Amino acid sequence: MILKPKGTYDMINEDAIKLQKINRLFEYFCDFYNYDFIRTPLFEAQDLFHRSVGDTSDIVTKETYDFKDRGNRDLTLRPEGTAGVVRSFIENKMYGENLPKKFFYNGTMYRYERPGKGRNRELTQLGVEVLGSNDPAIDAEVISLPYRLFEELGLKDLNVKINNLGSKEDRKLYRDALVSYLEPNIDCLCTDCQNRFKTNPLRILDCKVDRNNEILKNAPSILEYQSEESKKRFKKVIEYLELLDIDYEIDERLVRGLDYYDYTVFEITSSEEILGSANTIAGGGRYNHLVETLGGPDIPCMGFACGIERLMLAIDDDHFSKKRPLDCYILYVNEEEKMKAISLAQDLRISGVSCDYDTMGRSLKSQFKEADRNYAELLILLNSEDLKKGLITVKDNLTKVETKIDENEIIDYIVSNG
RNA sequence: GCGGAAUUGGUGAAGUGGUUAACACGCCGGAUUGUGGCUCCGGUAUGCGUGGGUUCGAUCCCCACAUUUCGCCCCA
Strands A378-381 and A355-357: unpaired
Q: pLDDT of A225-239, one tens digit each?
A: 889 999 999 999 999
Question: CB neighbours (10 Å) of residue A131?
Answer: 25
Does the CB of A136 sit below 7 A from strand B? Answer: no
Strand nucleotide closest to residue A120 (CA to C1'): B76
Domain at A328-417: CATH architecture:
3-Layer(aba) Sandwich (3.40)
Q: What is the C-alpha R_g of chain A?
A: 28
The DSSP-derived string for A263-300 is EEEEEEE--HHHHTT--EEEEEEE-TTHHHHTTS----
Q: Report CA(A318)–C1'(B35) in Å, whole number.
A: 31
Which pLDDT does position A239 carry in this prediction?
Answer: 97
Strand nucleotide closest to residue A404 (CA to C1'): B35
Does the CB of A27 sit below 7 A from strand B? Answer: no
Which pLDDT does position A244 carry in this prediction?
Answer: 95
User: How big is the CA angle at A284 (ends A98 and A82), to the nearest 5 degrees?
Assistant: 55
Q: pLDDT of A242-276, one tens digit each?
A: 999 999 999 888 888 777 888 999 999 988 777 77
Which pLDDT does position A242 carry in this prediction?
Answer: 96
Backbone φ, ψ for residue A316 (5° rounding): -65, 125
A 252-281, residues with C-beta < 7 Å of strand B: 256-258, 267, 276-278, 280-281
ipTM over 0.90: no
What is the CATH number assigned to the segment(s) A13-167+226-320? 3.30.930.10
Which pLDDT does position A126 carry in this prediction?
Answer: 96
Which pLDDT does position A222 carry in this prediction?
Answer: 87
pLDDT category at A388 given cuts 50, 70, 90 is very high
Q: pLDDT of A56-93, one tens digit each?
A: 666 666 788 988 999 999 999 999 999 999 999 999 99
Does the CB of A402 sit below 7 A from strand B? Answer: yes
Q: Report CA(A114)–C1'(B46) in Å, whole number.
A: 31
Q: pLDDT of A21-47, one tens digit each?
A: 899 999 999 999 999 999 999 999 999
Strand nucleotide closest to residue A336 (CA to C1'): B34
Strand nucleotide closest to residue A337 (CA to C1'): B34
Short-list A323, A372, A353, CA closest to A21: A323
* CA gap A172, A261 in Å, rounded: 13
* CA gap A349, A241 in Å, rounded: 47
Q: pLDDT of A351-375, one tens digit each?
A: 999 999 999 999 999 999 999 999 9
Q: pLDDT of A151-196, one tens digit each?
A: 999 888 899 999 999 988 888 888 888 888 877 777 777 767 777 7
The DSSP-derived string for A312-346 is HHHS-HHHH-PPPPPSEEEE--SHHHHHHHHHHHH
* CA gap A37, A21 in Å, rounded: 17
Read off the pLDDT of each residue in A301-310 and give the average, rounded to a whole number: 94
C-alpha pair distances (Å), A291 with each of A59, A91, A93, A172, A277: 20, 11, 11, 20, 32
* CA gap A324, A196 in Å, rounded: 50
Q: Give yes or no for residue A319 having a pLDDT over 70.
A: no
Q: pLDDT of A187-226, one tens digit each?
A: 777 767 777 777 777 777 777 666 666 777 778 888 888 8
Q: A4 vs A182, which has greater pLDDT?
A: A4
Read off the pLDDT of each residue in A124-138 and give the average, rounded to a whole number: 97
pTM score over 0.95: no
Domain positions in chain A: 13-167+226-320, 328-417
